[in-house]
Structure 1
């Protein structure tokens, strides 16, 4: 049995009939790091607050460690929470802030000392015990806030966008720190963010939320390689997936189908191409990740699924070790990455290679992914995820 179970969870407020959270069904395993990911205002913090007991549940069941907790007050749920704001006591030292909950629970001085020592070592705060919050960096304050929850050994630790107030460098550092801490303590953690890169780097699984509904829950690699619909496909991945109106047509081989747009014919992976022969003539949306597009000089070897295309460069954005290029084919813009070995200039023509192996195909009306003749190529997906970083 899963450690945390959300069964048909709904939430609406008395002043409105619209559901803020709609029929959420989600199982969270013991020791798992699960991220609720979605745009601002989609309901992910509301879900977190219902787990914590800070929001009432309109309907549905919430089960933690085998017990129904819908009507159990927050203070009895053994849940820790780290907020976007640090919420530290400014007049207390680091030691006093971390130990505050233990003192409220009237734990012994020996237990407080032992747990305080353990948490400070875990969070690299050994030399900060006598410091006050005003004397700490943003990252150190966030670690103190995290320590204040961890020291109580919560059954579930909830984190509500804890890194959003940090600058980019500190966010990078704390993302790595949170991953390390989870690997050491193995607490069940539920993390809320709108930052898909944080979610990809830290999570065992990602639950994508949109307008109060759970759209897809899967591992980072799976959700990147097999997005359930156009929303997930566009939300996961940086740069975002290129979406192109296209049509399924017969390829040069009478036994295989291809995808055609703007006069270009893309060849798919062989198994998929054969399965799609029954769909010839169908209008679709083709999804092409920037990681599937290469400068022809960067492409090692040639594959059956490779298609050469010439496009006009519209925009060049240096990113350090790579360059993000926006190029146009007729009236369709494509975004992709090239190495710094090749610095294209705006308005020049560039020859690129599109790899059709992991082409994503979506229904034009519903936006849902069309699964037909697909195989789960985890190795290729993991390689694309690495190019995402």
Structure 2
């Protein structure tokens, strides 16, 4: 089940360098990965950040996380029992590690063995019905009895019910804030209980980070990314659970939805998911039968370190101008930019990297980018 080569271990020096890079201004998971390919190491990338941002049109130097700041975060995390793990290290959920935007360092607290087992995500309405809560509890319990870890977002309603029903078998909470800023606050005791029972919690946010509205979609991609499949129990139109389902589909995960009464607005989103092709689920066996063939396929961690290719080129001024001219506030596909720019993919990606480090580029799902 989910065999993967998570056997490497970073040195503390490498961990500090990676932590400094991902905590620096305008560096996200995809940018981090591009920088590692470009420079060969996090240390060299840190040295190159100011020049790349200047080439992208930055009017001021971006903030670079200092070594003292990174060391303080690493020490504080360890004091709280949180390990900051790279995708190639044991304890980093294997399927999450395969994503293009996998967190370069993930804060992991709890049982390492639980993190390595196959996971099924259960999400749904915060304002759930009694029937929805009962079903979420039943399916979470049955999946746990079948050997799966239930993963969810520690929210009120369906998430809470799924976690509570699978504490004995193993459950993982994905946090939108730092490990010391639990949301909602009243679930602090639930989190402590599930960790004490052999479960765990993960977050890509630094300690002290209070979750904001925009952090929840980021968290949702971790819920779906770590799982074999996502089960949506109840969701109204425009629900955050539907964002999780969309991300799951983009990540190649199976999406299941529980049908509900057309008279209940809390079932409107799940019923729409079924219309759009999500698998209808009425019991845990529906999910188990669907994911069994997926679990039999070998799971390999993609190579993220430099592979001996030359560094990306420094684009010519006219190339940079042509590429920037193709961008605007409307998201466009990177593939379309490459085709229309009439230059190499390496040049386009370098210009996009420069723009992002300058704070001028926004990345969207599905390989889309836009100017901020």
Q: Shared topology, TM-score over 0.5?
A: no
Question: TM-score per shorter chain, which class?
Answer: under 0.3
Structure showing greater relative contact order (alpha-carbon pairs closer than 8 Å, 6 or more residues apart): 2
TM value normalised by structure 2: 0.24
Larger relative strand fraction: 1
**Structure showing greater Rg:** 1
Structure whose residues are more often helix by fraction: 2
